Chain A
Amino acid sequence: MKARLSTLNVNGADHRVTADPSTPLLYVLRNDLRLNGAKYGCGLGQCGSCTVQVDGAAVFSCLIPVAAVQGRRVRTVEGLGTAAKPGILQQAFAIEQAAQCGYCTAGMIMRAQALLDQTPAPTDAMIRAQMQPNLCRCGTQLRVLRAVHRAVEMLRRQSAHAHSGP
């Protein structure tokens, strides 16, 4: 197919990219927008290392064509925070040192974010079920679970603090 100009909303900003509409979102994020978070792991929706949010839901960016995200909100791990100013889940992953090689980690964070956006206080079973599509070969799963639990606790405190007022 021929390349076409599309407008993508990624991390709150509109980007105009020229791409074959069948191109999986992953390649546009990585190559056109130069975002490193989503990783190529399988291209088949089998490992989750490419996970991003589209309209809040966790999706495999290696499967969804760029044409399918026109007019929808795409969020990558870059949209959660930076090393200097990390978001809650990023902080929790850092505190728990929930990574080894780190190749799967951004996908893990985005899948967890999709859960926390919907369910701020999930149970352990809900977290495990949510994370099931994402593979880690280094064996950091228990650290990832601890990190998500920690983020839940951080959000709870943040929310309690916000509601308690000055």
Chain B
Amino acid sequence: MRYDAPLSLTRRSVLTAGALTVAFAFVSRAFGQPTALAESQSSLKNTPWLDAWIRVDGDGHITVFTGKAELGQGIRTALTQVAAEELDVSPSGIELITADTWRTPDEGLTAGSHSMQDSGTAIRNAAANVRMRLTEAAAAAWGTSAAAIATTGDGHLGHRDGRRVSYGELARTLSLHVAALADVPLRDPAQFRTVGTPLPRLDIPAKLTGESAFLSDLRPPGMLHARVVRGPSEGTRLQSPDVAAVRARPGVVNVIQAGSFIAVVAEHEWTAITAMRDLERTPAVRSAPVTLSDDLFAGLQRLPAQEIPVLDTHGEAAIAVRAVTARYTRPWLSHGSIGPSCALAHFDGTVMTLWTHSQGIFNVRRFVAELLSLAPQNVHVIHAEGAGCYGQNGADDVAADAAFIAKAMPGRPIRLQWMREQEFGWEPLGPAMATELEAALDANQRIVSWRHEIWSNRHNNRPQSAGAVWIGGELEPAFRPQQGAPIPMPEGDGHRNSNPLYTLPNMHVVYHYLPDMPLRVSALRSLGAHVNVFSIECMMDELAKAGEVDPLALRLAHMQDERAVAVMQKAAERFGWSTRLPGDGRRGCGMGFARYKNIGAYCAIVMEIDLERTTGRIAMRRIVAAVDVGLAVNPDGVRNQIEGGIIQSLSWTSGEAVTFDHNGRTSLNWGSYPILRFADVPDSIDVFIVDRPHMPFLGVAEAAQGPTAAALGNALADAGIRLRDMPFSPQRVKAALSANRTPI
């Protein structure tokens, strides 16, 4: 992680120095699109030029560009492996440049388990194109057929007759400013040297040793520390902060006030913090009306809704003999990033350079340009790693805050760190949701009808305009709030994964989309899939119980997708599903399955829990997962993502809730927000990969969220209590135990 080069990198130097090809690659887009590329080539559709993705210098140095960002999900390593494989060089021979508005293709957000599909597919095909062009150049130079030439794995091409030439030598006369061709041959998976191996993550050594790895490790010369001053949570404002007193304090360089936005800037971080604390010593008043209800399901149902039909199918089916109806809910959740959001901004009078851990640097460029009335090309946004975000946390808001402060103080780099309570109180929350499902079985345990209704805000509120970040609403005049719409299917939003992958007749699925947000919400890992998969997969178990059929057997009887069957069978087999002991009021086993968005990764989770009846605590014993992510580039990276997704989903599902009453938010203390700790993590998690080396990438990161929640709900039901409202807190477990008086 470096600050010195980019800080001195003015617009002029980018256009005049060695980076000429980058600027050219983007300009050239206006010259027209090349012939249609295969849909599967993903981000190449928007950025077809090879030199936008890959450059080979005359000395053989290879630079690869991605518009996606490393978020701790391991994408730097996986994309490096993909490039190395198709270029047939060692991963150590690749320099990967990630999300940077001046240097990399615009690949939109790094979100939605899309990075491998979008960028991985693009880089793979671009690299195959480059390899082909290098081979053709060698064939031309040697006057032979390309068929006689092959890569050697070390940055050279070799002829059957023994001649060798380096990529660098060929690159000196080869232009890569050409559009990628579709259907260029990819390397045979049987010959893979790098893809499919657990290459250790490239970013980990620095993180283990305190080398510069994070945005917060950037310390440009002359940097000042800033803090923003806000009320305790969204919907509040401070009554009368004593700005004059703080302005006069030694070490305070500036207090910026604009509308209701206040920021303090100091030489030393602790001075900025103590000044901020002094400014906060004034009562907070509610600035927004409270429209919340204590009863989550009723409260969400009462909000005005727009009906979005998802499925409405009609088919012949036998007569229903048993029906089950159930309602499921999830409260608002905090992203709970371990590091509060941070940004570093520097304005040189013309160009705003902004380091951010936002998942959408190209969006940041848009809203910062609008906020500060700068030309978008004069807003240079560079992704730098922060703590894991799992969706939209405070990253975008803090980036806008920092840019605004820096614009007011040209020449001084401004580091703005949100405090913990600001992150907790002001980040967008993961939306609360409610569902109602009804399904019926015939006399042969076949599902004959299926209804699934969802009540939810849209989860997609990623800021693209200045009115969508806090400061945009605080300035006077305020920027217009951003309008939005739910992400349509097949990706889906609140209705993501509400269309069961099972083959069922008579399906009626509808999303009651709630445009009004009682609380500011935005994307949390897997969007609506967490609740929809939880609902569907709990309903499958509720039906299995009603029909007295094994839950796995019921699923397999309604599943025609062979890859889905394979992961369910793999997880069940590795778990020992067929020989498990029946639930006995303490122990319980349960499973959950989904194909993420029905177009992404397949994931089946089987788990065993112990119910501590006296305390209501759920002890997570062992968990087995099976996943099919298509071609698995880095198997250990896949396992790490799935393990983490499981633990995070267990934390959400078993414990977490941002609480409110009719007076407003009641959870203000981060310390009491119950993120799963070491004492409560499972005894073991084993992840098995069903590898599909000839299949496209399906993404990984969000696949486990829904199936894990369902497996936990079903294991709990197997142990004696069916809970349908998250979180499964000890209080709720105990209440359910005393309600149904299950014999011990």
Contacts and interface: CB of A to CB of B under 8 A. Distances in A.
A70 interface: no
Given A83-B206, A139-B644, A141-B647, A39 B270 contact: no
Interface string A8-31: 000000000001101110010011
7 contacts: A23-B268, A30-B216, A46-B670, A97-B201, A102-B204, A104-B387, A106-B207
Interface of A: 19-20, 22-24, 27, 30-31, 34-37, 39-44, 46-47, 49, 76-78, 80-83, 86, 90, 93-94, 97, 99-106, 109, 128-129, 131-132, 134-143, 145
Contacts of B219: 31, 34
Contact of B205 (A35, A78, A94): A94
Given A42-B420, A102-B204, 8 more contacts: A22-B270, A46-B420, A83-B205, A83-B209, A94-B208, A101-B385, A137-B336, A137-B675
Contact of B207 (A105, A129, A139): A105
Contacts of A76: 210
A109 B208 contact: yes
Contacts of A141: 647, 676, 678, 681
Helix, strand, loop or mixed for chain A's interface? loop
Nearest to B639: A97
Contacts, number: 184
A131 B419 contact: no
A83 B205 CA distance: 5
A128 B678 contact: yes
A20 B271 CA distance: 9
B678 A145 contact: yes
B131 to A, nearest CB: 29
Contacts of B682: 142
Given A41-B339, A103-B339, A31 B207 contact: no
A90 B208 CA distance: 6
Nearest to B217: A36
B32 interface: no
Contacts of B675: 135, 137
A155 to B, nearest CB: 17
B268 A31 contact: yes
B646 interface: yes
B316 to A, nearest CB: 45
A133 B198 CA distance: 31
Given A19-B270, A27-B270, A83 B211 contact: yes
Contacts of B643: 139-140, 142-143
A139 B646 CA distance: 8
B385 A36 contact: no
B257 interface: no
Given A100-B640, A101-B338, A139 B208 contact: no
Residue from the set A22, A42, A100, A141 with the largest chain B CB neighbour count within 10 Å = A100
A66 to B, nearest CB: 9
Residue from the set A109, A128, A132, A138 with the largest chain B CB neighbour count within 10 Å = A138
Contacts of A24: 270
B338 A104 contact: yes
A84 to B, nearest CB: 9
Contacts of A106: 207-208, 210
A15 to B, nearest CB: 15
B690 to A, nearest CB: 21
B612 interface: no
A43 B419 contact: yes
B579 to A, nearest CB: 24
Contacts of A42: 340, 420, 670-671
B655 interface: no
A81 B214 CA distance: 19
B63 interface: no
